[in-house]
Amino acid sequence: MKIPAPTALTMALASVATLALVAAVATSVGSVPIPLRSIQAIVAHHLFRTPLDGVPASWDAIVWQVRLPRVLVALLVGMALSVGGALYQSLLRNPLAEPFLLGVSGGAGFAAVLVTATGLTALGSQVLPLGAFAGALAASGLIVALSRVGGRLPAANLILAGVALGSLLSALTAFVLIRGQGAFETSDLLGWLMGSLARASWPTLRLIAPYIVVPLAATLFLGRAMNVMLLGDAQAQHLGLAVERIKPLMLGLAGVLAAASVAGAGVVGFVGLIVPHAVRLTLGPDNRLLVPVAAVAGGVFLVACDTLGRVVFAPAEVPVGIVTALFGAPFFLWLLRHQRGATTA
């Protein structure tokens, strides 16, 4: 059922307001609390050259150079993971599918380890995310090539090939790490492999933004096709959908979103599984509504998890990938239990 225009507009405005509020609060909290009014003045100063009256220079540096780019990267990565999960779940007709099911995380992790082991990280701070991005895309492309049978992409083949390649790449990653003990620094790399936004910066944001914003916008127009794909290949073809054309498009969009998220925050699991599925349990399966809501929810969820990881054990920091699992799993189980109880009532 089509969402009425006033409702859609209201949801869009509410989503923008929610994202802005969450970003502001996340930027405000930390070892040095900064008032929201000062944050507003700092942002206005950098965007519109307004004066910074009464705002310490240290606050300006903390907000503009450290916290704000990190929050914005977290927002984009959360959106990418969530929408990528929705794409995979529709394509594979599997509620347990998520962006890293098809070996994307294995490809990114292996490429990151190779970049570190060969010393290429000395060339600049963006070499590691670029290598991970390339590795994730390469793994996604290889899965598609291995799964194709007579011009078709059976969902079962995609899942099996993805699991097999992901396991192989994870084993190779562990082997290189073990063999490289003492030969190169692994502490930062291990943190990144667990999912971390500690490296997030303005260059990181500029690197990943085009590869997230464009696929997100494209996915918003695929809601009807995603709904039809849930009916199965044969039924979708009967309804006039070019199944074997839409599959590579959906895989490509999901692969780019997952690769960009890995480049921005490392290997963050669970977001692509829990967020779209939780939205589906709450609002229903219509992807025309699910995709935009899941995008907002994914961004908010990852920013909240990263903020908790920053402040709970400060000055130590818990990688965001650990926080998403610790908080996401119980919430997901509660939501699933609650939904089951409502269904049987």
Give domain status of residue 221, yes or no: yes
Cα separation, 228 vs 35, in Å, equals: 48
Q: Is 153 left (phi over 0), alpha (psi -120 to 50) or beta?
A: beta
Distances from the Cα of 197 to the Cαs of 22, 63, 104, in angstroms?
Answer: 17, 15, 18
Give domain status of residue 150, yes or no: yes
Instruction: Please count the structural domains in the chain.
Output: 1
- Mean pLDDT taken over the chain: 87
The pLDDT score that the predictor gives to residue 210 is: 94
Q: Has residue 192 got a pLDDT over 70?
A: yes
Residue 157 · residue 149 · CB < 8 Å: yes
Q: How many CB atoms lie within 10 A of CB 31?
A: 9
* Nearest C-alpha neighbor of 287 from the set 219, 215, 240: 219
Q: Has residue 4 got a pLDDT over 70?
A: no
Mean pLDDT of 34-38: 95
pLDDT confidence band for 1 (50 / 70 / 90)? very low
The pLDDT score that the predictor gives to residue 189 is: 75
Q: What is the CATH number of the domain that holds 336?
A: 1.10.3470.10
Here the tokens at position 343 are 């269904």
Give domain status of residue 26, yes or no: no
Cα separation, 88 vs 159, in Å, equals: 10
Give domain status of residue 18, yes or no: no
Q: Tokens 């959106």, residue?
A: 79
Distances from the Cα of 141 to the Cαs of 6, 104, 161, 204, in angstroms?
Answer: 41, 10, 11, 24
Q: Higher model confidence: residue 146 or residue 8? A: 146
Q: Which domain holds residue 195?
A: 41-344
Q: How many CB atoms lie within 10 A of CB 235?
A: 13
Cα separation, 52 vs 62, in Å, equals: 14
Cα separation, 163 vs 166, in Å, equals: 5
Query: How does pLDDT run across 45-100, given as a tens digit for each residue?
Result: 999 999 988 899 999 999 999 999 999 999 999 999 999 999 999 988 888 788 77
Give domain status of residue 10, yes or no: no
Q: Which of 38-42, 88-92, 298-302, 303-307 has the lowest mean pLDDT?
A: 88-92
Give domain status of residue 277, yes or no: yes
Give domain status of residue 12, yes or no: no
Query: How does pLDDT run across 119-157, given as a tens digit for each residue?
Result: 887 788 788 888 888 998 899 889 988 988 887 888 888
The pLDDT score that the predictor gives to residue 66 is: 95
Q: What is the pTM of this model?
A: 0.90
Give domain status of residue 99, yes or no: yes
Residue 301 · residue 271 · CB < 8 Å: yes
